[in-house]
């Protein structure tokens, strides 16, 4: 359920072109979309239509060839790369299909990484990381490394890491795509709970029609354009 009607993200006329040899590959072709505060928005479409590319532009992991992304009315790509990285660290959380946890670090240490990049007080950051991991059911697994955790537990650590700096939005790219059905459903229910209980805004790329049907709104991407809302 959308908690407020205020606009958080607005993408305007986004184009993304990649070069393959001498050829141009037009991946996104003038995307326009809005994300409201507290919304759980799904993005669906076949492989290769530009879903992940769109998510990367919304999360400022990549820059468009044309178009703008506004965050609370501010033009994000007017920022230089260093300031954009600072913004991304504080305002956006990411969850990917593959958790990208550092194998030599424990669940607690992996969760702490965004706060350490932010240069937050280590004691306070540690307390928050323990609280987050305990809240999502990993209070007894704080010191286990990724190789000692199940796939679902690893993805839960990735969710905790995404929440570490209390971001305004979480962008999730196939967050259950590498999990079995039961585990994937458990992770998705965790995201739904964070949306409903904490009012977190989510944009989730998924191939799962079952998952998409449970979201507030769904955009279908076809050949680099939005076909339906």
Residue pLDDT, tens place only, 160-207: 999 899 899 999 988 877 777 887 888 888 888 888 888 889 999 988
d(CA 228, CA 128): 40
**Cβ-contact 169, 201 below 8 angstroms:** yes
Closest listed residue to residue 9, CA positions, set 49, 55, 47:
55
Q: Where does the pLDDT of residue 1 fall: very low under 50, low under 70, confident under 90, or very high at 90 and above?
A: very low
Q: Where does the pLDDT of residue 229 fall: very low under 50, low under 70, confident under 90, or very high at 90 and above?
A: low
Whole-number pLDDT of residue 2: 39
What would the DSSP string read from start to end of 112-171? HHHHHHTT--HHHHHHHHHHHHHHTT-TT-TT--GGGS-HHHHHHHHHHHHHTT--SEEE
The answer, yes or no, to whether residue 5 has pLDDT greater than 90, is: no
Whole-number pLDDT of residue 3: 40
- Angle formed at CA 178 by CA 101 and CA 36, multiple of 5 degrees: 80
pTM for the predicted model, two decimal places: 0.86
Domains of the chain, residue spans: 7-228
65 half-sphere exposure, CB direction, 13 A CA radius? 13
**CATH classification number, 7-228, choose in 3.40.109.10, 3.90.110.10, 3.20.20.105, 3.40.50.300:** 3.40.50.300
Mean of all residue pLDDT scores within the chain = 87
Q: Where does the pLDDT of residue 49 fall: very low under 50, low under 70, confident under 90, or very high at 90 and above?
A: confident
Whole-number pLDDT of residue 212: 85
């Amino acid at each position: 359920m959308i908690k407020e009607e205020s606009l958080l993200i607005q993408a305007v006329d986004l184009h993304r072109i990649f070069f393959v040899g001498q050829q141009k590959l037009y991946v996104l072709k003038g995307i326009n979309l809005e994300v409201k505060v507290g919304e759980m928005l799904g993005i669906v479409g076949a492989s290769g239509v530009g879903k992940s590319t769109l998510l990367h532009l919304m999360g400022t992991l990549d820059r468009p060839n044309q178009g703008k992304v506004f965050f609370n009315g501010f033009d994000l790509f007017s920022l230089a790369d260093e300031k954009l990285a600072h913004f991304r660290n504080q305002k956006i959380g990411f969850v990917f299909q593959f958790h990208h946890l550092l194998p030599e670090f424990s669940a607690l240490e992996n969760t702490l990484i965004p706060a350490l990049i932010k240069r937050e007080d280590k004691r306070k950051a540690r307390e928050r990381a323990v609280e987050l991991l305990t809240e999502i059911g990993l209070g007894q697994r704080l010191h286990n490394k990724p190789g000692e955790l199940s796939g679902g537990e690893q993805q839960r650590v990735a969710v905790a890491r995404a929440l570490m700096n209390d971001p305004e939005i979480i962008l999730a790219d196939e967050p259950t795509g590498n999990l079995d059905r039961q585990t994937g459903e458990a992770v998705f229910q965790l995201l739904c709970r964070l949306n409903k209980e904490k009012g977190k805004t989510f944009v989730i790329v998924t191939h799962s029609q079952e998952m998409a049907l449970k979201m507030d709104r769904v955009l279908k991407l076809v050949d680099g354009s939005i076909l339906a809302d």
